Amino acid sequence: MKHRLDWSAYETAGQGDAYAGIPATGGDFAKAVAVCIGDKQCQRKPKGVMCPSFRATDDVAHSPGERVKVLKAALNGELGDDAFADPRLASAMELCVGCKGCKRECANQVDMAAIKIEYQAQRNARSGVSLRDLLVATLPDQLQHRRFVRSLIRWRNRAPWLAQLGERFFGISAKRKLPEPAAAAFSFPSGSNPLQLPLVRGSAEPAPPLTRGGWEGLSSPETNDKSLILFVDTFAMHFDPEIAHAAHQVLTAAGYNVSILQALADDDEPERALCCGRTYLSLGQVDAARHEAQRMHRALRPALEAGIPIVGLEPSCILSLRDDHLKLGLGEAAIALSKQVYLFEEFIAREHDRKRFTLEFKPLPQGKTLVHGHCHQKAVGAMKSLRKVLRLIPEFEFEFIEASCCGMAGSFGVEAEHADISMRMAELDLLPALRAEPDATILANGFSCRHQIREGAARQSHHVALLLRDALKEPTSC
Ligand code: SF4
Ligand code: SF4
Whether residue 64 has its Cβ less than 6 Å from ligand 2: yes
Whether residue 52 has its Cβ less than 6 Å from ligand 2: yes
Residues 344, 376 within the same domain: no
Ligand 2 geometric centre to CA of 35 (Å): 15
Residue 124 has pLDDT above 50, yes or no: yes
Residues 246, 118 within the same domain: no
Residues 380, 332 within the same domain: no
Domain boundary among 73, 99, 127: 127
Tell me how far apart the alpha carbons of residues 130 and 172 are, in angstroms, rounded to a whole number. Answer: 12
Residues 375, 335 within the same domain: no
Q: Which of 293, 216, 289, 225 is nearest to 259 (CA)?
A: 225
Region of poorest pLDDT, from 117-131, 138-152, 313-327: 138-152
Give the dihedral sign, CA 202/476/234/165: negative
Tell me whether residue 359 is in a domain.
Answer: no
Residue 97's Cα: distance from chain center in Å? 12
Residues 30, 85 within the same domain: yes
- Average pLDDT over every residue of 362-382: 92
Ligand 2 geometric centre to CA of 390 (Å): 28
How far CA 78 is from CA of 73, 84, 92, 122, 315, in Å, comes to 5, 12, 15, 17, 38
Whether residue 39 has its Cβ less than 6 Å from ligand 1: yes
Q: Is 474 exposed, middle or buried (0-12, 13-18, 19+ CB in 10 A)?
A: exposed
pLDDT, residue 478, reads 56
Please provide the DSSP assignment of 59-100 as one string.
-GGGSHHHHHHHHHHHHTTTT-TTGGG-HHHHHHHHT-----
* Residue 398, helix vs strand vs coil: strand
Residue 399 has pLDDT above 80, yes or no: yes
Domain boundary among 103, 127, 151: 127
Tell me whether residue 84 is in a domain.
Answer: yes
- For residue 50, give the ligand nearest its CA: 2
Q: Which of 410, 418, 416 is nearest to 234 (CA)?
A: 410
Ligand 2 geometric centre to CA of 405 (Å): 9
Tell me how far apart the alpha carbons of residues 371 and 383 are, in angstroms, rounded to a whole number. Answer: 10
- What are the pLDDT digits (tens) for 371-380? 999 999 888 8
Tell me whether residue 279 is in a domain.
Answer: no
Q: Number of C-alpha atoms within 13 angstroms, CB side, residue 25?
A: 16
- CATH number, domain containing residue 238: 3.40.50
Tell me whether residue 146 is in a domain.
Answer: no
State the DSSP code for 186. Answer: -
Q: Within 308-382, where are the H helices?
A: 315-322, 331-340, 344-353, 375-379
Ligand 2 geometric centre to CA of 210 (Å): 35
- Average pLDDT over every residue of 395-413: 96
Q: Number of C-alpha atoms within 13 angstroms, CB side, residue 54?
A: 22
pLDDT, residue 190, reads 63
- What are the pLDDT digits (tens) for 458-475? 999 999 999 999 999 976
pLDDT, residue 199, reads 40
Tell me whether residue 167 is in a domain.
Answer: no
- For residue 68, give the ligand nearest its CA: 1
pLDDT, residue 19, reads 75
Ligand 1 geometric centre to CA of 368 (Å): 37
Residues 376, 336 within the same domain: no
Residue nearest ligand 2's atom 2 by CA: 99
- For residue 111, give the ligand nearest its CA: 2
Ligand 2 geometric centre to CA of 65 (Å): 10
Work out which ligand 1 atom sits closest to the CA atom of 108.
Answer: 7
Whether residue 107 has its Cβ less than 6 Å from ligand 1: yes
Q: Which of 223, 238, 206 is nearest to 305 (CA)?
A: 206
Ligand 2, from 42, 45, 49, 50: best to mutate by most atoms within 8 Å of Cβ?
A: 50
Domain boundary among 94, 110, 127: 127
Residue 174 CB coordination number (10 Å): 18
Q: pTM of the full predicted structure?
A: 0.91
Q: Which of 276, 250, 249, 246 is nearest to 261 (CA)?
A: 276
Which residues have CB under 8 Å from 251's CB, separation 6+? 228, 230, 258, 311
Tell me how far apart the alpha carbons of residues 403 and 172 are, in angstroms, rounded to a whole number. Answer: 26
Q: Is 409 exposed, middle or buried (0-12, 13-18, 19+ CB in 10 A)?
A: buried
Whether residue 102 has its Cβ less than 6 Å from ligand 1: yes
Tell me whether residue 170 is in a domain.
Answer: no
Tell me how far apart the alpha carbons of residues 432 and 426 are, in angstroms, rounded to a whole number. Answer: 9
Tell me whether residue 107 is in a domain.
Answer: yes
Residue 5's Cα: distance from chain center in Å? 18
Residues 393, 442 within the same domain: yes
Residues 442, 349 within the same domain: no
Tell me how far apart the alpha carbons of residues 174 and 26 are, in angstroms, rounded to a whole number. Answer: 39
Whether residue 101 has its Cβ less than 6 Å from ligand 2: yes
- What are the pLDDT digits (tens) for 182-233? 998 998 776 554 333 334 333 334 333 332 222 333 333 333 479 999 999 9
Q: Which helix (H) or strand (E) holds 259?
A: strand 257-260
- What are the pLDDT digits (tens) for 235-264? 999 999 999 999 999 999 999 999 999 899
Residue nearest ligand 1's atom 6 by CA: 36
How far CA 362 is from CA of 396, 398, 470, in Å, comes to 10, 16, 9
Instruction: Give yes or no for a cis peptide into 375 (omega within 30° of 0).
Output: no
Ligand 2 geometric centre to CA of 264 (Å): 37
Whether residue 36 has its Cβ less than 6 Å from ligand 1: yes
Residues 375, 436 within the same domain: yes
Work out which ligand 2 atom sits closest to the CA atom of 97.
Answer: 3
- What are the pLDDT digits (tens) for 74-122? 999 999 999 999 999 999 999 999 999 999 999 899 999 999 999 999 9
Ligand 2 geometric centre to CA of 155 (Å): 34
Ligand 1 geometric centre to CA of 328 (Å): 25
Whether residue 407 has its Cβ less than 6 Å from ligand 2: no
Residue 92 CB coordination number (10 Å): 22
Confidence of residue 366 (pLDDT cuts 50, 70, 90): confident
pLDDT, residue 477, reads 58
Residue nearest ligand 1's atom 7 by CA: 36
Is 261 within 8 Å of 268 (Cβ atoms)? no
Ligand 2 geometric centre to CA of 98 (Å): 5
- CATH number, domain containing residue 104: 1.10.1060
Residues 205, 348 within the same domain: yes
Residues 80, 40 within the same domain: yes
- Domain of 23 in residue numbering reads as 8-127
Percentage of the chain exceeding pLDDT 90: 81
Residues 210, 342 within the same domain: yes
Q: How many domains does the chain have?
A: 3
Whether residue 98 has its Cβ less than 6 Å from ligand 2: yes
- What are the pLDDT digits (tens) for 28-83? 999 999 999 999 999 987 777 899 999 999 999 999 999 999 999 999 999 999 99
* Residue 419, helix vs strand vs coil: helix
